[in-house]
Amino acid sequence: MTWNPRWKLAGSLGLATGMALALVALPALVFAGQEGDVAPNEQVTFTKDVMPILQRSCQRCHHPDSIAPMSLITYEEVRPYARAIKYRTGLRNSPGVAGIYAMPPWYIDRNIGIQKFKNDPSLSDEEIATLATWADSGARRGNPADMPPPIAFIDADEWELGSPDLIVSSRSVTMKGQDSDWWGPIGDAPTGLTEDRYVASIQMREVNDLDGQTGRATIGGLHIFHHLTMRQAGPDGMVYEDEAAQGWPTHEVGRNSDIIDPAAGKLLRAGSKFVFPSAHLHSTGTDTTGHVEIGLTFHPKGYQPKTTLVRVGGSTGDLDIKGMEADQRIEAFTTLRENTKLVSFEPHMHAAGVRMCLDAIWGSTVETLACAGYNHSWVRVYTYAEDAAPLLPKFTILRITGYFDNTPANKNVSDPRNWSGLGHRSMDNMLIHIGRGIQLSDEEFEQELAKRRESLTEGQMVPGCPLCGYSKMPVTTASNQTP
């Protein structure tokens, strides 16, 4: 007799009343009334279809003692949330309706703009449909033998990009539950490095004593750090000169990680320390103590960068957000002075912000590079995949469009009856694009274009590459044609 995985199921149903009964009665008991006309191997089940999705996109946050309110690892844990999972994943790029946010927190609009990003945890349309079908068809467990092996967690608060080579922590700070916003320096932290290394990725995360509980339903109830800036200084505490131009990413509420362009690894020096010139703290409604951990991975020894990253920004302070009005739209423009490969798109808004789009205007071409929902509880940086990063000729105009919802439908806003404008508090507003890019000489730009065109047919246009379709036009001529 061979082992039948259903026997295990029998045990969990309390039906292990003897082998004979299990063998004869179990298949009917387990599947009766659920199967419909669907053959068993076509049914959507937890073990076969749902678990692989949860492992890839959800469990890093949803496991015991993590930031999320519940673990999504066993069938017993997941089943009660079947409908909630269908709803949350079905929100897709929407930042959320009435305070219910899309899961996983990743808000790129799938209907417009470039779609390829590094480390993208979002679900495909098929995966979203699978979760919905599972919830609607009885949320079945399925065959335990289909269950993929569990994934190993590095520690309770999983690192998004895996285990860092070096972890540096800021000092701990405490915010009382009802404190007003606070800004200021919070000291420094030695890196402990004994030799120079080049940084390949940076993960920053807030570690606090909230345990997924919060006293507040508005912005960022799970975190006190609404921003933390950092600079690299020598052992004497003096910030290095090149830090002003290049800088490090700014940590923000619940922000995800930075994969630095492989050509532009960032130098971290022996004996250096991080100084934190500006923290912005916002209370959670509960007394909270926390610090920020900075996890760094390094390039192999001997690595040399070819270039450096620069800010590709754009912003306006002219914000006039009316009370009790949805769909308020504000634009900002900036002109690129150099040929630029845009490495990342990072919308920065505050509580009332719900969406940002980035368009490239070049000559008579207007292209949307990305649109993303915005949720000031989960700030996201979106890093373009290598073969999809926009290649923008000099004098391209970037248009940033921010959308604001200052009504009770946007739960991040504490009192939507108020007008609001530019300000540093999380309840004030901002409209900034904090992108990063690489500037290219005309020759380097031609090389990048040639590489990109290899996968295109002659004359083919792709979003984010206004010159890709013009294989015979030199960059210098092309850029001279723009005003």
255 in contact with ligand HEC (CB under 6 A): no
With helix as H, strand as E and coil as C, how does 80-140 read? HHHHHHHHHHHCCCCCCECCECCCCCCCECCCCCCCCECCCCCCCHHHHHHHHHHHHCCCC
Nearest approach in angstroms of CB 117 to ligand HEC is 15
Nearer to ligand HEC, 62 or 291 (CB): 62
Write down the residue that tokens 């590709």 correspond to. 312
101 in contact with ligand HEC (CB under 6 A): yes
88 in contact with ligand HEC (CB under 6 A): yes
Residues composing the chain = 483
Rounded distance, CA 340 to CA 59, Å? 37
58 in contact with ligand HEC (CB under 6 A): yes
Rounded distance, CA 182 to CA 469, Å? 50
85 in contact with ligand HEC (CB under 6 A): yes
Write down the residue that tokens 């995800």 correspond to. 256
| Residue from 48, 62, 280, 436 binding ligand HEC (CB under 6 A) | 62
24 in contact with ligand HEC (CB under 6 A): no
Phi, psi at residue 82, to the nearest 5°?
-55, -45
Nearest approach in angstroms of CB 266 to ligand HEC is 24
* Max Cα-Cα span within the chain: 84
How many C-beta atoms surround the C-beta of residue 249 within 10 A?
23
Nearer to ligand HEC, 380 or 453 (CB): 380
Which stretch of DSSP H or E encloses residue 374?
A: none
Strand-pair partners of 201: 259, 297
51 in contact with ligand HEC (CB under 6 A): no
- Tokens at residue 296, please? 């760094």
| Residue from 68, 91, 112, 456 binding ligand HEC (CB under 6 A) | 68
Write down the residue that tokens 């409209």 correspond to. 431
105 in contact with ligand HEC (CB under 6 A): yes
Rounded distance, CA 412 to CA 220, Å? 8
Rounded distance, CA 238 to CA 231, Å? 10
Rounded distance, CA 403 to CA 476, Å? 36
Nearer to ligand HEC, 202 or 478 (CB): 202
Contacting range for ligand HEC; rule: CB under 6 A; set: 62-70, 148-156, 390-398, 438-446: 62-70
Contacting range for ligand HEC; rule: CB under 6 A; set: 26-34, 85-93, 290-298, 471-479: 85-93
73 in contact with ligand HEC (CB under 6 A): no
Contacting range for ligand HEC; rule: CB under 6 A; set: 58-66, 228-236, 300-308, 319-327: 58-66
Nearest approach in angstroms of CB 83 to ligand HEC is 9
x/- map, 199-238, ligand HEC, by CB under 6 A: -----------------------x----------------
- Tokens at residue 48, please? 């076969």
> Which residues are near ligand HEC by CB under 6 A?
57-58, 60-62, 67-69, 81, 84-85, 88-89, 101, 103-105, 121, 123, 222
